[in-house]
A and B are shown apart, each in its own frame.
Chain A
């Protein structure tokens, strides 16, 4: 064929680059797979070597071979849920204020400030936690120690806030302006429009924000480890929030450095890692499934 006379060298280089790019594109799947494989490889033997009854007991005391992970799961749940409850009103309130109420120039100031918070390393927040917040809570709440689940929850809330603000604000921003105008045209005040129209329209996006915020809090390690007192005990009562706890992440971080490779303790720490991996998997897939579903529905309606 005459047209084919020049299949220039350039196009060969093109093919090479394209294949490289493709391989890089697939790499994420590879890495998730690798992470899972290596967690399983190091952690699954725990199920064989450590009796299940021990794993699901309420004592975490590795030196004596007691690997009850229930207190750790409880600690994680307690701190994560409290952190979410703290972060929600502030995160969503700030997102709504930035997106719906604030004039432009205030917006331009607020957004970078929230980004600063997102950029502060958690170890720095943990540090401030130890030096400022812990003593403050001890005095102010009259506790024997300020190293409590509550202190951890406050810090974690702070860490989750930027995620919640930015995702929720994005969700509010994608609500078409026509919705708001329709609300206002019907004689509703801006306040009524926000709660009656805009927020409901951005519902799923806000839900995604909350989920991702929870995910962020769940996986946080350093700040929590530094301020929660590291006591792997089950709660004695309602007061648990003002007592020391130990989360799953903090347990891994504080003990992995001191265990012998391949020991039971080592394996159980990896097992906890598998649990965390699966938890974050569920949270993130749910969050993204929710938002994709919403987008698809929106496309159907708008097209």
Chain B
């Protein structure tokens, strides 16, 4: 099943910094789709279109179509709040909100209007367990979200997204600020989570891309150069540019 169908998506920022040109891609449900390529290629921009986080940025023009479950999410009349609850996002640096661990995880639900303490409690516990963080923090849920290590913080950010029971989880270089052990934890977690969720990952290096990809999309300077399933992409890339990048000739 296709979660997203993107057709001819082009976007320009007012400061002409990063932009996307005519992106066409289909994103499969219950799989990990990896977006990779050198910095500034448009991966983050693309992710921020999918949950309309781009609304916060200074976008000059945006054309094309992004269908999410068959509905065009670029429609200005769309309820973006609801969309963002269905499409969670984890960022490159762990950013706990300046709240307690508990409040961090419950944040999305509370913002959505959930007041029932019991429901919140069980949702928080479930999310923390799913993010394999429960055992490390269950006895200090009221501590600040900043009081735990970087790796734990990033799993907290993941739990925060999971608590909303989204359909899609997007991760923008989620392990770039983490040590190898924490990175491995997050990676194995993602492999488990794809049973339930659609995962879109912008890894911070080619190795991670190759390890994680069910599908892989190579972004270069605002263009989608090649899109294929993971094995094909990393074993026999068709495009010369993807090949050069994967083999380390540039990037």
Q: Do chains A and B touch in the complex (CB under 8 A)?
A: yes
The interface of chain A, by Cβ under 8 A from chain B, is 1-4, 6-8, 10-11
What 5 pairs between A and B have smallest CB-CB spacing? Answer: A4-B79, A3-B79, A3-B82, A3-B71, A10-B113
B77 within 8 A of A: yes
How far in angstroms is the closest Cβ of chain A from B26? 20
Count contacts between A and B, CB distance < 8 Å.
23
For B82, what are the chain A residues with a Cβ–Cβ distance below 8 Å? Answer: 3-4, 6
The reply on B97 being an interface residue by CB < 8 A is no
Residue ID in chain A nearest B70 by CB atoms = A2
Instruction: Please determine whether B81 and A1 come into contact, CB atoms closer than 8 angstroms.
Output: no
Asked whether B236 is an interface residue with its Cβ less than 8 Å from the other chain, the reply is no
- When distances are taken between beta carbons in the complex, the residues of chain B under 8 Å from A10 are 113
Q: Which B residues are within 8 Å of any A CB, using their own CB?
A: 69, 71, 73, 75, 77-79, 81-83, 112-113
Instruction: Classify the secondary structure of A's interface with B.
Output: helix
* A and B contact pairs by CB, cutoff 8 A, 16 listed: A1-B71, A1-B75, A1-B78, A2-B69, A2-B71, A3-B73, A3-B78, A3-B82, A3-B83, A4-B77, A4-B79, A6-B82, A7-B79, A8-B112, A10-B113, A11-B81
Give, as a whole number of angstroms, the nearest-CB distance from A82 to chain B: 48
Closest-by-CB residue of A relative to B82 is A3
Known: A1-B71, A3-B82, A4-B79. 11 other contacts (CB 8 A): A1-B77, A2-B69, A3-B71, A3-B73, A3-B78, A3-B83, A4-B78, A4-B82, A7-B79, A8-B113, A10-B113
The DSSP consensus for interface residues of chain B is: loop
CA distance A109 to B75 in the complex (A): 57
| Nearest-CB residue, chain A, relative to B83 | A3
- Once the chains are docked, how many angstroms separate the CA of A212 from the CA of B73? 50
A163 to B112, CA, bound (A): 47
Find chain B residues with CB under 8 A from A11 CB.
81
Q: Can you name the residue of chain A whose Cβ is closest to the Cβ of B112?
A: A8
Q: Measured between C-beta atoms, what is the minimum distance from A18 to chain B in Å? A: 14
Q: CA of A153 to CA of B165 in the docked complex: distance in angstroms?
A: 69
Contacts of B75 in A (CB 8 A): 1
Nearest CB on A from B16, distance (A): 12
A134 to chain B, nearest CB (A): 54
Q: How far is the CA of A1 from the CA of B75 in the complex (A)?
A: 11
Q: Which of B69, B82, B83 has the most C-beta atoms of chain A within 10 angstroms of its own C-beta?
A: B82
Cα–Cα, bound, A10→B75 (Å)? 22
Taking the closest CB of chain B, its distance from the CB of A38, in whole angstroms, is 40
What chain B residues lie within 8 Å of A6 (beta carbons)? Answer: 79, 82
A11→B83 CA distance, assembly (Å): 14
B69, B81, B83: most-surrounded residue (chain A CB, <10 A): B81
Closest residue of B by beta carbon distance from A10: B113
Report the minimal beta-carbon distance from B40 to chain A, rounded to whole angstroms.
16
How far apart are the CA atoms of A11 and B81 in the complex, in Å?
A: 9
In angstroms, Cα B75 to Cα A280, docked, is 49
Report A5 CB to chain B, min CB distance, Å: 8
How distant is the Cα of A287 from the Cα of B112 in the complex, in angstroms? 46
CB distance from A295 to the nearest CB of B (A): 17
